[in-house]
Amino acid sequence: MRKQRPKQSLFYQIARNTSEAVGSPFASIAAVAVIMTWASLGPFFKFSDTWQLVINTGTTIITFLMVFLIQNSQNRDAKAVQIKLDELIRAIDAARNQIIDVEDSSEQELKNLQKDFSELGNNSKE
């Protein structure tokens, strides 16, 4: 039996629902339909500046909002994956536990670890 999840914030609920909705096939079809409708209205509006401004403004606003939505989704997914990886590292006796919080390391520490793992990989090939 799965445990019940705690109630999430309103922002989280809206972000998750919106992310699922805009990632659906229906949203892609709707976007294509909007573009086709806009393009077909071009001759009626004589391809005016206002006609172009409508699509430019609409796409700019949607893109601006989607950037934040995508970043929120990626941050949540990255945190979840990191927690799962940390749990796997913690559960394996032979693993180095200092790797658990590696995402908080400096660039130099990451380069050193990358070099160590590269050398381990090269040694295992031999």
CA dihedral 50, 18, 84, 104 (to 10 degrees): 40
Across the range 6-32, mean pLDDT stands at: 90
Backbone angles phi, psi at 8, to 5 degrees: -90, 165
The span from the CA of 14 to the CA of 117, in Å, is 41
Q: How far is CA 110 from CA 46, 90, 102, 105, 120, in A?
A: 58, 19, 7, 6, 15
| CB-based contacts of 90, cutoff 8 Å, min separation 6 | 97, 100
State residue 39's pLDDT score.
Answer: 96
Q: What is the pLDDT of residues 80-106, one digit of tens each?
A: 998 998 888 888 888 887 788 888 888
State residue 4's pLDDT score.
Answer: 67
